[in-house]
A and B are shown apart, each in its own frame.
Chain A
């Protein structure tokens, strides 16, 4: 059987369980590639012209497109199939996890102990309060969410996230779920060959799947990763060891980092800021500024902002906000990224923004060729999990 996960933390699934996962992966690919195309056709062919003839103008923003699309059967089927597929992602893992969880925990402990012996620390903080943005809803409809603990030293939510993401992403996040990290770290390295970071920090790392490539790209650097969720950190510490790198994991809130001023050369995050309330985004950016050394780089992989895309593309991306338990998604996308960086202390002249082609998706040649070229958000492949995805990143030099 072809394995879902390619590193030693994988759980053993039987044939029918694997087939069920294959179905969900295929269903997701169908909804997000084929049905997405069909839905745009419905919009351009009928919904938008109807809106124009009754309003005398095109829809101004994503919300207006959303209201116009709501009665459409195609939108309703797209949405209900996508919603069900999301639930089925987790249901295709849970019975396996329920059966294998003791074994996963034991393997995780062993690998973690090996990592510790080799000098990679795991620092958990029992007293850290889990922020409300995490406790309030199960993000992405994952039962138990990032922080749920269902036994001592539990790693279940880490294992569920890793395996679920592999089913969810239909290859778009890379065969080791590290394409964002590989693309961003590789892009920074290619574009700034003289920049040699000694200390790198990843904020909101979950299981460190996109932290690992930083350690591989910059083997001499000391790499740290933080998150508020203990199960993911335990699992991630073991997972990094299983992937052949040593990373220090800390249970910490990104709004109040327990690191010294001027102590990192890179502060990175991936798919993190859009899960925070606006006031916390501001705090996190200010903390990033504080812990960066002068000459250091802050870089966030994120969803592209609404002000850089069409009303329809904005509507398409905001689906997650309305229907995938992502309440902070649209408020984040409504922010002006350059402005919030400046408000956190960064010089607006030193703001950066890159649209980076998926390194695994486009292949190494196209990827390397992109490093010296600037590209606008423009295309609808930017920040959208579908064939041809390109990652949107923004940040600033300190």
Chain B
């Protein structure tokens, strides 16, 4: 890399005014934290699933193997379905009292 190729750090946040959707701005921040937390939990779950799959297949767990692991189409599909169910679970509060049905399902 030549000196001319030196670069500046990339910006971490967009040039934008964050909207406030709730009466108390704290609630908006809680939503952000909740989603970050949910994301981290999901990351753990994917890793755990991969660990279990690999262990089952090989009887041995190697970091290198874990990195290279690709779920079969069936496992990938099962994981994707799990993921949607997981998101529904953590956002359960929204649908706990189902919105007044308009005669729909």
Contacts and interface: CB of A to CB of B under 8 A. Distances in A.
Contacts of B45: 19
B12 to A, nearest CB: 6
B5 interface: yes
A73 B35 CA distance: 17
A46 interface: yes
A76 B21 contact: yes
B35 A38 contact: no
A355 interface: no
Contact of B84 (A30, A42, A105, A150): A30
Q: Which bracket fits the contact residues of A?
A: 35 or more
Interface string B86-105: 01100100110001111010
B98 to A, nearest CB: 8
A46 B46 contact: no
A371 B100 CA distance: 40
A138 B47 CA distance: 33
Contact of B87 (A30, A75, A150): A30
Given A27-B35, A101-B7, A143 B95 contact: no
Q: Which of B6, B21, B76, B83 has the most CB of A within 10 A?
A: B21
Contact of B83 (A23, A35, A105, A152): A23
B43 A27 contact: no
Interface residues of B, number: 51
Given A2-B76, A19-B46, A23-B83, A84 B10 contact: no
A320 interface: no
Contacts of A76: 21-22
Contacts of B95: 38
Contacts of B16: 137-138, 141, 325
Contacts of B6: 151-152
Contacts of B36: 88
Contact of A102 (B1, B31, B71): B1
A259 interface: no
A143 B13 contact: yes
Given A80-B21, A80-B31, A152-B4, A19 B47 contact: yes
A30 B10 CA distance: 30
A75 B94 CA distance: 11
B5 A20 contact: no
A386 interface: no
A311 B4 CA distance: 54
Contacts of A16: 43, 46-47
Contacts of A145: 14-15
Interface stretch (A90-98, A119-127, A238-246, A388-396): A90-98
Interface of A, secondary structure class, is helix
B70 A30 contact: no
Interface in B36-70: 36, 38-39, 42-43, 45-47, 50, 66-70
B87 A27 contact: yes
A42 B100 contact: yes
A374 to B, nearest CB: 30
A311 to B, nearest CB: 16
Given A20-B43, A143-B13, A150-B10, 20 more contacts: A1-B69, A1-B70, A15-B47, A15-B50, A23-B83, A26-B87, A27-B39, A38-B99, A73-B94, A79-B19, A79-B21, A81-B35, A88-B39, A94-B10, A94-B12, A137-B15, A138-B15, A143-B15, A151-B6, A152-B4
Interface of B: 1, 4-16, 18-19, 21-22, 28, 31-32, 35-36, 38-39, 42-43, 45-47, 50, 66-71, 76, 80, 83-84, 87-88, 91, 94-95, 99-102, 104
17 contacts: A15-B69, A19-B46, A22-B42, A22-B46, A22-B83, A23-B38, A26-B84, A27-B35, A38-B99, A45-B100, A74-B94, A75-B21, A76-B22, A80-B32, A138-B14, A141-B16, A150-B10
